[in-house]
Amino acid sequence: MTDEARIAAAQAIQGCLTKMAVEPGRGDEPAHYTLRAGEARLDINPRLGFPLSLEWTGTIACTHCGRITRKSFGQGYCYPCFKRLAQCDTCIVKPELCHYFQGTCREPEWGERHCFQPHVVYLANASGLKVGITRATQIPTRWLDQGAVQALPVLGVESRQQAGFVEVLFKEEVADRTNWRAMLKGEIAPLDLIAERDRLLARLDSGLANLRERFGQDGIRVLDERPVHLDYPVLEYPSKIVSHNFDKHPVVSGTLQGVKGQYLILDTGVINLRKFTGYEVKVVA
């Protein structure tokens, strides 16, 4: 697309943010991002190298019930929804604390649909080696949302709680968080994920055997998968990380240099759009 065509195709959209939709690239192409503001959509990849402006209107709406709220809780919820919904409970972050079988799940039907589904325990490289869990249906979206450049499914389990127990074991040996600043600098050394998998499975053999005694031999299965490599639409990574925040400065603008994870990378700084889920913004690109 020529510069003139880009200018002619400039768009202005407005709505409440949700996390960007992302699809893996085909062949040598990087991942493809779509910014979502309410019902409006903005194709991000073609905007690389051109000005982008996001202005928060001052309104925040709950991503679940739609009510206007002064403050967002748990990435997009009003306080009543945050306290009521199962998807906002502590066990979502720490699935080993699942209390469904105690009869105290906030929304048992929601839990049955989302938590009692096949999950995968994986290793990824976003800022170094980390362990994570996700529903099998969320691969590779989960890895792209984290900004991983490599990922490897390691174990398949039958529920989110089981995945949580396995993750607790792995966290004795490896981190479960991404250093987002390192991830955004783009200087990620490649890892031999197959070797790391084999090392960890050997180290954790006893703990995994105990979990298999509890959940059955087929309940926690070693997966025979190959590492996945992921690429992102980035023209230039920042040498110094400056983070934009709508709560401090409602207007964020600059030249779009790239997208990785759920971050927009501008020449003026970076912004995590997922953090501002529910914020109504006007986007001009």
Write out the chain's pLDDT in tens, 285 residues.
555 555 445 689 999 999 999 999 988 899 999 999 999 999 999 999 999 999 999 999 999 999 999 999 998 999 999 999 999 999 999 999 999 999 999 999 999 999 999 999 999 999 999 999 999 999 999 999 999 999 999 999 999 999 999 999 999 999 999 999 999 998 899 999 999 999 999 999 999 999 999 999 888 999 999 999 999 999 999 999 999 999 999 999 999 999 999 999 999 999 999 999 999 999 999
8 vs 217: CA distance, rounded Å? 60
Q: How far is CA 244 from CA 13, 110, 115, in A?
A: 20, 34, 34
Residues 240 and 224 in one domain: no
Residues 236 and 216 in one domain: no
Residues 194 and 161 in one domain: yes
Question: CB of 34 within 8 A of CB of 21?
Answer: yes
69: in domain: no
123: in domain: yes
Residues 139 and 160 in one domain: yes
* DSSP state at residue 102: G
77 vs 75: CA distance, rounded Å? 6
Residue of 208, 183, 181 whose CA lies nearest to 197: 208
**Helix (H, G, I), strand (E, B), or coil: what is residue 25?**
coil
Number of domains in the chain: 2
Domain range for 251 is 3-61+232-284
Residues 223 and 136 in one domain: yes
Residues 208 and 252 in one domain: no
Element containing residue 171 per DSSP (H, E): none
Question: CB of 233 within 8 A of CB of 32?
Answer: yes
Residues 207 and 247 in one domain: no
71: in domain: no
* pTM listed for this prediction: 0.93
274: in domain: yes
Residue of 177, 125, 157 whose CA lies nearest to 222: 157
Strand partners, 281: 15, 56
Residues 130 and 218 in one domain: yes
86: in domain: no
Strand partners, 56: 281
Residue of 230, 222, 180 whose CA lies nearest to 201: 222
